[in-house]
Amino acid sequence: MSRKNRYFNVEGLEQWQKALVQMGGPAWDKAQDRILRSTGLRFQEHLDDFTPAKTGRLKESMSVGHSDNVFEIKVGGNSYVFTGTAVEYAQYINDGFEQQEGRFVPGEWKGDTFHYIPNHNSGMVLIGKVIPGARMFERAMDLIEDDMRTIIDFEFRRMYRDLLG
Question: Comparing 19 with 41, which gets the higher pLDDT?
Answer: 41
**pLDDT at residue 120 tops 50:** yes
Question: Residue 15 pLDDT > 50, yes or no?
Answer: yes
Q: Please give the model's pTM, rounded to 2 decimal places.
A: 0.73
pLDDT at 53 over 60: yes
The pLDDT of residue 24 is: 65
Q: What is the mean pLDDT of residues 113-133?
A: 93
Q: pLDDT tens digits, residue range 59-111?
A: 999 988 899 999 999 987 788 888 999 999 999 999 999 999 999 999 999 99
50 or 11: which leads in pLDDT: 50
Q: Write the secondary structure of the chain as one string of H (helix), E (strand) and C (coil).
A: CCCCCCCCCCCCHHHHHHHHHHCCCHHHHHHHHHHHHHHHHHHHHHHHHHCCCCCCHHHHCCCCCCCCEEEEEECCCCCEEEEEECCCCHHHHHHEEECCCCCEEEEEEECCEEEECCCCCCEEECCCCEEECCCHHHHHHHHHHHHHHHHHHHHHHHHHHHHHC
Predicted local confidence at residue 77, as pLDDT? 76
Res. 5 pLDDT band, cuts 50 70 90: very low
pLDDT of residue 139: 94
What does pLDDT average to over the chain? Answer: 86
**For residue 29, what pLDDT band results from cuts at 50, 70 and 90?**
confident
pLDDT at site 22: 64
